[in-house]
Amino acid sequence: MDSQNLSLIDRIRDSDVYFSFIKSPTAIISTVILMIIFFCSFFVELVAPFNPFDPSSLDLMEAFTPPSWEEEGMSKFLLGTDGQGRDMLSTILYGSRISLIVGFSAILFSLILGVALGLTAGYFGGKYEMIIMRITDVQLTVPSILMALLVDGIARGLISRELHDEMAIYVLIFAIGISEWPQFARVSRAATLVEKNKDYISASTIIGVSNIKIMFKHILPNILRPILVIGTIGLALAIIAESTLSFLGVGVPPTTPSLGTLIRIGNDFLFSGEWWITFFPAIFLVILAFSINLLGDWMRDTLNPKLN
Amino acid sequence: MVMLVVAFVSFSLFTFVGDPVHNMVGEETSDQEREEIREALGLNDPIPVQFTRFVRKASKGNFGTSYQLRRPVSELISERLPATLELVFVSALIALITGTLLGVYTGINRGSVLSDIILAISLLGVSLPTFVIGILFIYLFAVILGVLPSFGRGEVVDFGFWTTGLLTISGLKAIILPSVTLSLFQMTYIIRLVRAEMMEILQTDYIKFARARGISEKSIQYKHALKNGLIPVITIAGINIGTLVAFSIITETVFQWPGMGFLFIQAVKFVDIPIMSAYLVFIAFIFVMINFVVDILYYFIDPRIRVKSGDVNG
């Protein structure tokens, strides 16, 4: 009864998760890095020194300025400028917002889809379960990047070209989301199978709680841990997938560049020596993905020792 | 069975997605001309007729004509196929050999400085997107050092049905960067797998017994332990060849490697459905073949499976 009376903060302090978080320097460092990145990306208007999409602030004379510590660098452009005179730091922050929005939405989409299908499959069983699991089997043999490419290609065929640029970001979210859901379906099904044979579920069934209520109110909170773990690792995958697709030129339109788009644009300048245009977005992407992966690793060890 | 499903999916792609005529002609084409093209392409026939025609043609290797390039897809693919297969083959080889060697090393010399470095790099390798690695390599080896070419296949030798870059020096040079890039991800995977296997096997009784018999440590490690450690590696490597084919899309784009992935990306950009569906069928075919080959390899490598399957079948 004691834990009921404690405030939320005390409960967090008391938990094993908090304990292992405090004990793990990697987890703390990666969380801090991620917090900074998230903050800067979502409040980019306040943080970024320039607005790279405001044509009036651009000066073509300032194009290809190297980073500020190089000889020809200017102090107002910390990381230099790109081919249109856009400040790299601001462009990267705006780009990372797009990347994060797409990544989060995609993973949320596949999480909802996967968990809903996996949970119901595990709970009801029978033919329905078999069909769902068969689909995940088939889809898991296809590499997800290929799946996303295909979905993207099909969507391009279905949507007219004029509409496509506006729709591109939703198409991208859908394409990445649809390519990641089998993971969630599998894990939540496996966890549901364990959960549903426990006494409290039988008890709920006996007192006549409806199936839907049992699934989403009783089973779901108990299987959240493994889902959260693959959700975190999936976020890194989704961000990488987004930038890969954008890098390949089938992602977001160049008018709203994401990190991948920036890397692709910068790639063209690599040979003429303007290395910073592609290097900084790339390193930013790597730091982002690496921190999420580290955090995911820590979560895997802490939240679910059994999942490997 | 799998092939039929895929054939159907790619046929549906063909039929229901987009209007090929719209992609082929310019803005000023009249409706009548459009209709004539539709008729010539057989797009006005009933759907079952179109499907049977599709399967019949596909089984002969005919996937129609590319909307964008106006050339038969089979021709385009057979032109590009050698490049992709060579790339995938070389990188699978690199991944397998280097991965196994490093894995064995880190598995045996646990906790040594070099092992730790290898493992740290491999962790970073997992987080690095393939195209970033590619760009890094290009910058390092092509721009700064200028020792290796960053695009194309170099000179190729033409055998009529197969062109190879593996026989000329420039071709060999050209394949180094893309194949290493492609193999890195795979390699980190194999390192971890082999390491875990080695560590586990070195604890088993038969290794202890071998030691007791006075067999040299080298012989134990490479002859006794590695042999059993390699079995799961083969499965994973086999399955991952499919992944390599998929990831070759990215590598080929970065290095402008004239392979199928490059073709596919172009097809996705311009909604060139025949190429997309042909690629799909082709990938499915590769997956099925790989599974088949891995199953057979198993049979030869692991005597236990031979006994088991013999029992079941009679």
Q: How many CB pairs under 8 A join A and B?
A: 96
pLDDT at B4: 63
| Exposed/middle/buried for residue A156 (C-beta within 10 Å: 0-12, 13-18, 19+) | buried
| Chain A residue closest in CA terms to B5 | A138
Other residues' Cβ atoms within 10 Å of the Cβ of residue B227: 12
Q: Do A84 and A58 form a contact (C-beta atoms < 8 A)?
A: yes
Q: Which of B1, B13, B138 lies closest to B73 in space, CA to CA?
A: B13
Segment A156-163 shows an average pLDDT of 68
Q: How many CA atoms lie within 13 A of A118 on its CB side?
A: 29
Q: What CA–CA distance (Å, rounded) separates B152 from A192?
A: 51
Segment A36-59 shows an average pLDDT of 72
pLDDT at B162: 64
Contacts of A22 (CB under 8 A, 6+ apart): A28
Token couple for B64: 């129609």
Task: Tell me the CA distances in angstroms from B15 to A155, B45, B251, B273, one per residue in order.
Answer: 14, 11, 30, 9
Check whether A141 has a pLDDT greater than 50: yes
pLDDT at A89: 80
Check whether A105 has a pLDDT greater than 90: yes
Q: What CA–CA distance (Å, rounded) separates A188 from A122?
A: 8
Contacts of B76 (CB under 8 A, 6+ apart): B66, B69, B263, B275
pLDDT at B47: 60
DSSP state of A209: -
pLDDT at A308: 40
Q: Which of A76, A58, A78 lies closest to A67 in space, CA to CA?
A: A78
Q: What CA–CA distance (Å, rounded) separates B67 from A157?
A: 13
Higher-confidence residue: B77 or A162? B77
Low-confidence stretches of chain B (pLDDT beneath 70): 1-70, 146-147, 150-169, 301-314
Segment A21-34 shows an average pLDDT of 81
pLDDT at A301: 75
Hey, is B278 helix, strand or coil?
A: helix
Hey, is B164 helix, strand or coil?
A: strand
| A286 pLDDT tier (thresholds 50, 70, 90) | confident
pLDDT at A1: 42
Higher-confidence residue: B10 or A256? A256
pLDDT at B62: 62
Higher-confidence residue: A17 or A33? A33
Residue of B12, B240, B271, B281 to mutate when probing chain A, most A C-beta within 10 A: B271
pLDDT at B30: 60
Q: What CA–CA distance (Å, rounded) separates B233 from A282?
A: 32
Please tell me whether the interface predicted TM-score (ipTM) of this complex is above 0.90. no
Higher-confidence residue: A176 or B123? A176
Task: Tell me the CA distances in angstroms from B46 to A47, B9, B41, one per residue in order.
Answer: 59, 17, 13
pLDDT at A116: 92
Task: Tell me the CA distances in angstroms from B199 to A60, B107, B155, B195, one per residue in order.
Answer: 59, 6, 44, 6
pLDDT at B310: 46
Q: What CA–CA distance (Å, rounded) separates A262 from A199?
A: 54
pLDDT at B286: 78
Segment A286-302 shows an average pLDDT of 83
Higher-confidence residue: B150 or A255? A255
Task: Tell me the CA distances in angstroms from A164 to A111, A250, A264, one per residue in order.
Answer: 25, 11, 20
- Residue written as tokens 């030869």? B300
Highest mean predicted confidence (pLDDT) among A119-123, A296-300, B141-145: A119-123
A290 chain-B contacts, CB cut-off 8 A: 124, 127
Question: Which residues does A contribute to its contact with B (CB < 8 Å)?
Answer: 138, 141-143, 145-146, 149-150, 152-154, 156-158, 236, 240, 243-244, 247-250, 263, 267, 270-271, 273, 275, 278-279, 282, 285-286, 289-290, 293
Check whether A111 has a pLDDT greater than 90: yes
Q: What CA–CA distance (Å, rounded) separates B84 from B118?
A: 29
Helices (H), chain A: 2-5, 8-14, 16-23, 25-42, 44-47, 88-124, 126-141, 144-158, 161-196, 199-206, 211-213, 220-222, 224-248, 259-267, 276-303
Check whether A290 has a pLDDT greater than 80: yes
| Exposed/middle/buried for residue B130 (C-beta within 10 Å: 0-12, 13-18, 19+) | buried
Hey, is A250 helix, strand or coil?
A: coil
CB contact under 8 A, A145 and B127: no
Q: In chain A, what is the straight-line distance between the N-terminal and C-terminal CA atoms, in Å?
A: 34
The alpha carbon of residue A156 is apart from the nearest alpha carbon of chain B, in Å, by: 7
